[in-house]
Amino acid sequence: MSHAMSGPRSAPAVPPSEPLPASGPAPAAGAGVSGYRGTALVTGASSGIGAAVVRRLAAEGGWRLVLSGRDEARLARVAGQASGTAFAADLTRPGAEARLTRFVLDRTGRVDLLVAGAGIGWAGAFGTMPAADLDEVIDVDVRATLRLVRQVVPHMIAAGSGRVVLIGSLAGVVAVRDEAVYSAAKAALAAFADALRYELAPTGVRVTHVVPGVVDTPFFDRRGTPYRRARPRPVPPERVADAVWRAVARDRDEVFVPGWLSLPARVRGAAPGLYRRLAARFG
């Protein structure tokens, strides 16, 4: 419902691997050289929210940026504009997450911020969803993200600091008609963010869940169905990128974009029966 990752599946398959050994301790982001913030790895960075996050971090300054996405040409353009380093990859391929992590560590020695922005959607009746599309949504939105986090987090733990930002969707919080699998995938990310946050609390590594509503990106064109609802109205991806930055700067656990979207989430939590009746009638 909120963002997209697209492009040719051109990255070569590599053998699967276990998480890389954790790197040695590194100074916290912001320490040392004046203005230095650390290394940021952004996935889904060739367009949409991911590209906007890259531009926002570049504007803040002090970040060594590594960008990943499936569209090599677009990724290179975004990286060039942000003075970042591009690593084109299809993270659903076996071992791709290990190759990406190794690429970042070989060049920068650390990962201080991971923004997992890669995602795809599919809209339509669940019974008509092709099996291949079902698998792709789960592979891109859930499996690839969890595998990458599994590679990166040990290095953050060894450093004693770091932040994982997971780009979710309102669909994963309240569920959306005709987006059953996408809603399920984003709900999985929301639960993962909470569980991982509890687990990592003693380590100095933080987890942020960013929950956009409808974002004005090519997401809806690529999923095959245009956005037709009157509300919520689409927001530009730059607004989500601003929210990502504020969450990082202010140590926020969860952020809705726009903020008023937390209201339906609270209604669903407090009065699920009422919410379901309203959603069935108006959603």
Q: How far is the C-alpha of 189 from the C-alpha of 184, rounded, in Å?
A: 9
In a domain, 24, yes or no: no
- Asked if residue 9 is part of any domain, the answer here is no
- Residue at 158 is within a domain: yes
57: domain CATH number is: 3.40.50.720
Per the document, the length of the chain is 283
Q: Is residue 183 part of a domain?
A: yes
Largest CA distance in the chain: 57
**Rounded Cα gap, residues 10 and 13, in angstroms:** 9
Tell me how far apart the alpha carbons of residues 115 and 108 are, in angstroms, rounded to a whole number.
16
Classify residue 278: in a domain, yes or no. yes
Output phi, psi for 181, to 5 deg: -75, -40
Indicate whether 271 belongs to any domain.
yes
Domain count, the chain: 1
128 in any annotated domain: yes
Predicted structure pTM score: 0.81
Residue 228 inside a domain? The answer is yes
Q: Read off the pLDDT of residues 206-249 as tens digits, 9 standing for 90 and up.
A: 999 999 988 765 555 555 566 566 566 778 899 999 999 999 99
Q: What is the pLDDT along the chain (283 residues), one digit of tens a residue?
A: 444 433 333 333 333 344 443 433 343 443 334 467 899 999 999 999 999 999 999 999 999 999 999 999 999 999 999 999 999 999 999 999 999 999 999 999 999 999 999 999 898 999 999 999 999 999 999 999 999 999 999 999 999 999 999 999 999 998 888 899 999 999 999 999 999 999 999 999 999 999 998 876 555 555 556 656 656 677 889 999 999 999 999 999 999 998 777 776 666 666 666 556 666 655 5
Which residue range(s) make up the domain with 218?
A: 38-282
| Catalytic residue set | 182
CA-to-CA dists, residue 170 to 17, 94, 104, 116, angstroms: 33, 29, 31, 16
